[in-house]
Amino acid sequence: MSSTILAIELAYWQQTGLRALLGLVGVLLPAGILVYLFLFKMMSFMQSRLGPMEAGPYGSLQLLAEVGKFFQKEDLIPAAADRVVFKMAPFVVLISTFLLVLVIPAGPDLWFIDIDTGIFLALAVSSISVIGILMAGWASASKYSLIGGLRAAGQLVAYELPLVLAVMGVVIQAGTLNVQGIVMAQASGEIFGWGGIGNPFILTQFVGFAIFLIAVQAELTQPPFDMPVAESELVTGYLTEYSGLRFLMFFIGEFATAGIFSALAATMFLGGWYVPGLDPTDNLFNVIGPLVLIGKMVLVAFLIFWFRFTYPRFREDQLQQLAWKFLIPLSLVNIVATGILKVVF
Amino acid sequence: MTDVSNRNQLAYIAAQASDARVNVEFETEGMTLNLGPQHPATHGTLRVIVKLDGERVLRADPMMGYMHRGYEKLAEVRTYPQVTTLVNRIDWLGSFANEVPFILAAERLMEVEAPPRAQWIRTILFELSRIANVILFLGDMGVQLGAVTPVFFAFRDREFVLNQIEAVTGGRFHPNFDRIGGLKDDIPKGWTEETTGVLGRIRTFCDEMEDLVTGNEIFQARTRGIGVIPAEVGLAYGLSGANIRGSGVDWDLRRDGGVGLAHDQVDWKVWTHPDGDSFSRYWVRLQEVREACGIIEQLLGGIPSGPVMAKVPRIIKVPAGEAYVETENPLGVMGYYVVSKGDLVPFRVKIRSASFSNISITPWVLEGAYVPDVVSILASLYFILGDIDR
């Protein structure tokens, strides 16, 4: 198990500690960036207001104030709740977020795990959050939570399929399930014999990209797919009975997952940590790779949040129709087209 | 066999039967969901008891009275000028409009008529409070459907309208400005030009809502064909205002009522929509805001000169008699039935408020709807809790 990180020989415990720390950063940093940049600021500007301005310059420390507020709140558990399940649910949701961050490489040598089934692992562990949400919905002993939890389960299962099928096109084109391999395939790719900017798969897989983003939106239960939390009818669905730290964990889970899915989309469709014009094996990428990845992540997340703040929500049946009647057939067609073109060219 | 043991035996048989039923087939039972009294969708204290089968509504009962304020009774111990302070608070978003029918009823009893200038300014303020009220609905409908952005635009632009109302009356929400025989004051200098500017903003707001809300595919999918109220059913339940015009009934008291307001002096149109669904109710209200802008603009151009107050005694004693006046308020038809025994105070005031009648259709229209549609249908019926529990 002993290996090198950035060409420095490290003992196993040092490596593990470093990975745990970086994993925490990998989860909290995207969440923080997205909450401040989009939820606080972009949403406010879209709604002709300023957003937080008092805490720190341009309200940049507002996030700390919010977290501090959640820490102070009482950890309420409803009397009729299934206490163990109720307490465990936010952890289960957060576990899926932490497992997701594992597969995303941030540079040629910057990765947590480099396995041949990386994308497969990411899509598999993203489904774990469904269990957490169902647990939360059931254990809260509230009708709003129960309806919200069941809606979430139905929705996440339905949108798991287009999510996987949209990725299939990329996998066919790259010829590998390894995430690092997908980045390398894009970095060393050519467009009709011209390799100036590599071959970011968004150029060929734009249908897959669109389907992936829509499915991610649904996986995150964000508007227009926020039927499970639908605050105007279900109060906040499965989150209704949560308060304090446990609510914060759901909240971090939601935004961190948004960030990580955006990073995953950036990795698969926009070339990940690679910027055109440089050698992808250059050691420089171990330094600027994370920054490039974060930049691309913010770009993709902008799209997600733009939709979030503009659109009203679908009804449950319309949402299922969109998945089963439109997205899944479209992604199947995309896979067939990609396969044929892959053979032809 | 005695009576008691007979009953025991019957109970035993019933228990056996119910046990057997469980064993024979897996029975499901509906879930009862309480929407309210504290609930984000009811913006107030309406409680809707919804019996559900899955997500489908089997039965919905609106429960009113969580906010009862007893204004009808309170009005019996207030002098006539004091009553306007109370009734301001019935529909708190368009409060000036609440005063108008009461004052008109009192004027009819006293057989005085406001001078033309007062009538015109009254009509302008009446329509301004309609705009202040309805544009909040236009934004709020988005929130009920999950789009948070429109409501911020609505609050932003409503502020300009409230500023204009405040400039004349001194009160943002509760003007208390209408008097028997006229108005408390004249409009301030330069007000007409400012108001014209504000109307431009409101028109822009309407265009924005058309782009952001009615033009949105998801909004249309969520509202078209949802909560359809046929015209005859709507009339049977006593719907009024944009709710009944959304069902295609061409009925507007501003045109058909013939009460002492200046609506007949200007050129305007009553909008109707044939569909009767949530979308049509939204659409009709959107057009009505535009139309109100047109009405105000025309009225501003030709306010007659003269006093704003007729000759009325300082201490108002209303002669014995009874009068009923209804006007087309922002929420629908609002009427006051005033009975006077010749005192300083009314003997009885019966308030016919629009939301109370509009909400009565909810059991009919919600039956068979889905839970998400419950919220959108309730929102599109547009009630204000103060207008229900007055």
Q: A233, B148: Cβ pair inside 8 Å?
A: no
Closest to A210 measured CA to CA, from A278, A307, A89, A137: A307
What secondary structure letter does DSSP report for A4?
A: E
Cβ B212–A310 below 8 Å, yes or no?
yes
B residues 208-237 closer than 8 Å to A (CB): 212-213, 216, 218-219, 221-222
Is residue B26 a part of any domain in this protein? no
Give residue-wise pLDDT tens across range B256-267: 877 778 888 888
- The answer to whether the Cβ–Cβ distance between A312 and B146 falls below 8 Å is yes
Smallest CA-to-CA distance from B122 within B159, B72, B175 is with B175
Q: Tell me the per-residue pLDDT of B104-156, one tens digit each, with 9 for 90 and over.
A: 898 888 888 889 899 888 899 999 999 999 998 888 888 888 888 888 888 88
Cβ atoms of B385 and B46 within 8 Å: the answer is yes
Between CA A258 and CA A304 the distance in angstroms is 8
Report the chain B residue with the minimal C-alpha distance to residue A46: B149
* Contact residues, B window 9-28, toward A, CB-based 8 Å cutoff: none
Residue A222 Cα, gap to closest chain B Cα (Å): 10
Residue from B46, B52, B149, B201 whose CB has the most chain A CBs within 10 Å, to mutate: B149
φ, ψ for residue A217, nearest 5 deg: -55, -45
- Report yes or no: B143 at the A interface, CB cutoff 8 Å: yes
Closest Cβ–Cβ partner in A48, A143, A309 for B148: A309
Before B319, cis peptide (omega within 30)? no
Tokens 């279900």 belong to residue:
A234
**Strand, coil or helix: what is B58?**
strand
Domain that holds residue B170: 70-388
pLDDT per residue as tens digits for the range A163-191: 888 888 888 888 888 888 888 888 777 76
Q: Which residue among B55, B143, B213 sits closest to A232, beta carbon to beta carbon?
A: B143
Give A177→chain B minimum CA distance, Å.
35
Place of tokens 């009708």: A143
Determine which helix (DSSP H) or strand (DSSP E) holds B337, and give its type and residue range. strand B332-340
Tell me the per-residue pLDDT of B49-107, one tens digit each, with 9 for 90 and over: 888 887 788 888 888 877 778 888 888 888 888 888 888 888 888 888 888 889 889 88
Q: pLDDT tens digit string along B339-381?
A: 988 888 889 889 888 888 888 888 888 888 888 888 888 888 8
Dump pLDDT digits (tens) for B214-239: 888 888 888 888 888 898 998 898 88
Beta bridge partners of B326: B335
Q: Are A143 and B31 within 8 A, CB to CB?
A: yes
Q: How many CB atoms lie within 10 A of CB B232?
A: 10
Q: Which residues contact A148 (CB under 8 A, 6 or more apart)?
A: A137, A228, A229, A230, A234, A236, A237, A238, A239, A240
Cα–Cα dist A104/A63, whole Å: 25
Residue B45 lies in a domain: no
CA B221, chain centre distance (Å) = 25
B333 located within any domain: yes
Probe site for chain B from A155, A235, A308, A315 (most B CB atoms < 10 A): A315
Please report whether residue B341 resides in a domain.
yes
Q: Minimal Cα–Cα distance from A42 to chain B, Å?
A: 12
CB proximity B148 to A under 8 Å: yes
Cβ of A318 within 8 Å of Cβ of B222? The answer is yes
Residue whose tokens read 């200007």:
B266
Q: Which of A233, A235, A305 to mutate to test the interface with B (most CBs of B within 10 A)?
A: A233
Domain assignment present for residue B348? The answer is yes
Q: Distance (Å, rounded) from C-alpha A33 to C-alpha B47? A: 40
Residues of A with CB under 8 A from a CB of B: 43, 46-49, 143-144, 147, 223-224, 226-227, 230-235, 309-318
Closest CA to B99 of B183, B163, B164: B183
CA distance B373 to B379: 9
Residues of B in contact with A227 (CB under 8 A): 372
Residue B184 lies in a domain: yes
Residue B41 counted as domain residue: no
> Does any domain span residue B145?
yes
What integer pLDDT is reported at residue B284 of this predicted model? 92
Burial string for B171-187 (b: 16+ CB within 10 Å, else e) reads eebbbbbbbbbbbbebb
Cβ atoms of A102 and A126 closer than 8 Å: no
- The DSSP annotation for B184-227 comes to SSPPPTTHHHHHHHHHHHHHHHHHHHIIIIIT-HHHHHHHTTSS
- On chain B, the residues whose CB falls within 8 A of the CB of A313 are 145-147, 218, 222, 372
Sign, CA dihedral A177-A180-A183-A185, equals negative
ipTM for the whole complex: 0.77
Averaged pLDDT of chain B: 84
Looking at residue A233, what DSSP letter applies? T
Pick from A156, A113, A116: which is nearest to A133 by CA?
A156
Contact B152 A311 (CB under 8 A): no
User: What pLDDT shows up at residue A1?
Assistant: 35
Interchain pair B146, A224: CB under 8 A: yes
CA distance B25 to B374: 31
Contact B146 A226 (CB under 8 A): yes
Contacts of B219 in chain A (CB under 8 A): 312
Residue of B nearest to A45 (CA): B149
Q: How far is A154 from chain B (nearest CA, A)?
A: 13
Whether A47 and B373 lie within 8 Å, measured CB to CB: no
Q: Contact A311/B33, CB-based, under 8 Å? A: no
Helix axes A83-101, A118-125, angle to 10 degrees: 160
The residue written with tokens 């996030």 in the block is A63
The CATH number assigned to the domain holding B309 equals 1.10.645.10
How far apart CA A107 and CA A80 sit, in angstroms, is: 49
Overall domain count for chain B: 1
User: In angstroms, how far is CA B204 from the centroid of its own chain?
Assistant: 24
| Separation CA A126–CA B181 (nearest Å) | 71
Partner residue opposite A233 with nearest CB, options B31, B221, B374: B374
Q: What is the DSSP letter of B50?
A: E
- Nearest residue of B to residue A236 by CA position? B40
B371–chain A Cβ distance below 8 A for any pair:
yes
- B92 close to B173: Cβ distance less than 8 angstroms: yes
CB contact under 8 A, A315 and B216: no
Cα–Cα distance list, A154 to A133, A157, A158, B62 (Å): 11, 5, 6, 30
Residue A12: CA count within 13 A, CB half-sphere: 2
The structure tokens listed for B133 are 């009220």
Q: What pLDDT score was predicted for residue B16?
A: 65
Residue ranges, chain A, pLDDT below 70: 1-8, 191-197
3-state secondary structure of A198: strand
